[in-house]
Structure 1
Amino acid sequence: MPARANGFSLIEVMVALAIFGMAAVALVRLSGLSLSGAVQLADRQYAATVARNQTLEAILSPTPPAADQGRERAGQRDWAWQRRVVAGPVPGTQLVIVDVRGDAGQIIASDQLLWSGR
């Protein structure tokens, strides 16, 4: 009867290392995607804050809101915003719409409020 060898064969060790290596690469990639998603979420939150700030500023102004554009600092960057004013659903009201755009010109956040002169 042949003697049984204790331990793992070279093939078994190589397969185990390959599986471990693939799992490690997947975890590293997942953490990178998670970090990227967190950065995008933070940018959206800053953009939404800028949009709300500009909308409230227009609403709280003693004069009727007017179309405008500008830049506001939030977080680590300046955000470009554009305010539009259109007729509201009720006579004597205006809908104030603020869009905040990213570096590529895409709208990242938008906010709107109804202004009434009453």
Structure 2
Amino acid sequence: MPARTEHLARRPCARGFSLIEMLVALAVFALAVLGLLNLAGESTRTAVAIEERVLAAVVADNVAVEAMTIDTRLLGDDAHGSETAGGRDWRWTRTVAATADASLLRVDITVMPPGEERVAAELALFRGVAE
């Protein structure tokens, strides 16, 4: 038995991780963190874009309600203006066009952030012509 004990005593004790294993684990962890940070950034950018679209759609709906309620003689002219929604200013344009049916008008509404030509929301509706 003493020979067996000597063999165990000479064998080095292998506890813990080697330096290479620690570096590989740290690299994997760093890649995971970078992926999560990228995901968080994309989520923030998406939330901002959705907020802009929703607010612009509210402005378009407001202009559409006005277009449906005013006298059609006043509606015949194209119009543009600005409105505030969500603490932001928005520019809108309203164009009116005749359709193949003489009793209907097509009203197109576009909403843009101020100082930009990018359309944030657009809406088309049809309205009957008063006789």
TM-score of the superposed pair, with normalisation by structure 1: 0.91
| Partner residue in 2 for 1:50 | 59
Provide the identity percentage. 36
- Report which of the two has the higher share of strand: 1
- Report which of the two has the higher share of helix: 2
Deviation at 1:73, TM superposition (A): 0.6
Uncovered stretches (5+) of structure 1, i.e. residues with no partner: none
Aligned: 1:8 with 2:20 = no
| Partner residue in 1 for 2:87 | 76
Equivalent residue in structure 2 for 1:62, among 71, 93, 97? 71
1-side partners of 2:95 and 2:122: how far apart?
Answer: 11
Uncovered stretches (5+) of structure 2, i.e. residues with no partner: 1-6
TM-score of the superposed pair, with normalisation by structure 2: 0.83
Aligned: 1:19 with 2:20 = no
2-side partners of 1:82 and 1:15: how far apart?
Answer: 58
SS at match of 2:16: coil
| Per-residue Cα deviation, 1:61-100 (whole angstroms, up to 9, x for no partner) | 1343131000011112101000000002311321111111
Alignment root-mean-square deviation, CA: 1.4
Size of the alignment, in residue pairs?
A: 118
